[in-house]
Structure 1
Amino acid sequence: MPQPRHTTEPSPTARRTRRLIVDAAIGTLAANPSATLAEIADAGDVSRSTLHRHFIDRGDLLAAIDEECRTRFARADAAARLGEEGVLNSLDRLAQEYLGLGPVLGLVFADNAPVDPDTWDDSEERDQNLVTVIERGQRGHEIDSELSPTWVITTFWVLLFGAWLSLKSGMSRRDVAVQLSRTLRKAMGPADPDAPRRLS
């Protein structure tokens, strides 16, 4: 009769090394999505054999990266307190929290993105929560009611993509944050009464 396998909890050193490799991989792949495992190991200042002790292959490492990115997005969502203290303010906070994810955005916005939030099992719930908040903002005249919630969400991500490109081009984090906030508020805030209305 086969004996059950006994697993041991990774040591603190092993957990730190694994986290170091994942962090290095996020930064390296954000800059160069085709980076090799050897380049990731170099960035993490570990040997290739050490990397393979923690991750069997590239797919195993990408799965760990995806999980770490999901965790960071969840923390950003919680920190933004979406829907509190004014809807437009909370959308601005969410954009700033996502901007603070730094290289994680590089993975999301890369060609053939290795990280896709739409594949996470909570993606529909997250999107629906955002729609609910936007609709509440429209009822309260904080968000332009002539914009569909889907359009607002798409605009949110387009602005975030532009912010990430500006960071990559060398613009300071502070300047990008200010530009992102001003543009988001102007794009989504209460409509100019003289603006064209949406066709029904």
Structure 2
Amino acid sequence: MQLVFATNNLNKLKEVQSLIPEHIKLLSLKDIGCFEDVPETQLTIKGNAIQKVDYIKEHYGYDCFADDTGLEVESLNGEPGIFSARYAGEQRDAIDNMDKLLHNLENKPNRNAQFKTVIALHLNGKLETFTGICKGKITTTKHGNKGFGYDPIFKADGYTKTFAEISLEEKNRIGHRGKTVRFLVNFLNSI
């Protein structure tokens, strides 16, 4: 089986490739000649994931899947949510995003947050979606140098280390994207 993973994020691609069984050949957007920005203009994480797979299917014709992920912080009414990648601006800079989030959480005792990933799959003319959530807390300072995005300031519930301090294998085992990809793989293995 061959599937396109509709992302330009090389970190995400690496993370997902480590979870996909070998019998599924994963193609990137670059592999299919897609170099434009795939639209993400919906108002929900699920809507953005669906919009991405619809775009690839319509413009390139491939069976594909796409994810959209957002960090939702309770005391900020779900921010940054769908704006997680560009929370501090269109430059999509992880350090700027974390700094803005930490600033917005100053003097807020409730630091509860969750990462939410939705994967949309276009396969054989049908659309499926899968959702994974990892609950945790936002730290007051950055810790660790692994991972990407908000990983240095997110601790999953029950853990003393941030996502940026644990191995990719452990992050995939407990994290939002890993959970969602396992739902996808289970579905693919069932057909």
Task: Say whether the fold is shared (TM-score over 0.5).
Answer: no
Larger helix proportion of the pair = 1
Normalised by the size of structure 1, how large is the TM-score?
Answer: 0.26
Larger strand proportion of the pair = 2
Larger Rg: 1
Normalised by the size of structure 2, how large is the TM-score?
Answer: 0.26
